[in-house]
Structure formats: C-alpha cells, structure tokens
Amino acid sequence: MEEDAAVRFLEAFNAHDLAAIEAMLAPDVRCVLRSGATIEGRDALMSALAAEGRPGSKLDELTVSVAGRTIEVVDDTVTSTVRRDYHWEESGELSHSMLARTSLTFRADEIAVIEEFAAERVES
C-alpha cells in the first residue's frame, strides 16, 4: 500500500501536481533537503514547492528524463532511487547521469517525513 502511495507521490512531484502532493502530506510533515535544511509543516512545504517550480525547470540547455526506479520498503519507510539522465537540448547527446534517492515515511495514510539524499553522479 505504502509503495503505491510513494510512487503516486513521486509522480505528482515530478509533474508538479501541487494539489495531489498536498493531499498526501500530514499537516506536520517534515522535509529534510539534500543540503540538510529542514522544512516543517505542510503549509511551509507547499509554499516552498510552489516557489521552486517544476523539477528541472531551471536547467538551461538541458532536459532531464527519469528512468530505472527501484523501491525499497522497510517498515513504514519507502525509499525510491531513480536514474536521471541529462541531455543537451540542442543535440540530444547525453551530458551526464545522476542517481537520486528519496525516502518517504508514512504515518497512517499520510507522508510524515520526506528525506532527500545527495545525488550521486553515474560514471559512463
């Protein structure tokens, strides 16, 4: 159940579907960013997501595609790892690839904790 909910959340995040994201979050959700900074509460997180815009929207001259999602479930925590391939917009050539990992901890049917981990560059 949590695995399906996690995939729905991550798809909503990638599509920047703020209404779907908000509906899945606990009011007291805590989000730990890659930088170590923490956002506390659904309202604060939704404001940050709205201000940030769609994932990848700030990339100049690159497009990003997501592939190869793996899911690991341990108790109430679902960890997703995806490969992000960055291509040059003009030529379509691969620039580089990164592995991105995010953990979602559920409480009842809501996401209580989101933790982003530092992305790892994939060597060609």
8 Å CB contact between 109 and 28 = no
Q: What is the pTM of this model?
A: 0.85
Which neighbouring-strand residues pair with 72?
79
The H or E element spanning position 69 is: strand 62-74
8 Å CB contact between 5 and 24 = yes
CATH no. of 2-122: 3.10.450.50
- What pLDDT tens digit does each residue of the chain (124 aa) get? 789 999 999 989 888 899 999 999 999 999 999 899 999 999 999 999 998 766 655 567 888 888 888 999 999 999 999 998 888 988 989 888 999 999 999 998 999 999 999 888 887 6
**What's phi and psi for 32, nearest 5 deg?**
-105, 115
The H or E element spanning position 105 is: strand 94-107
| DSSP helix/strand/coil, 19 | helix
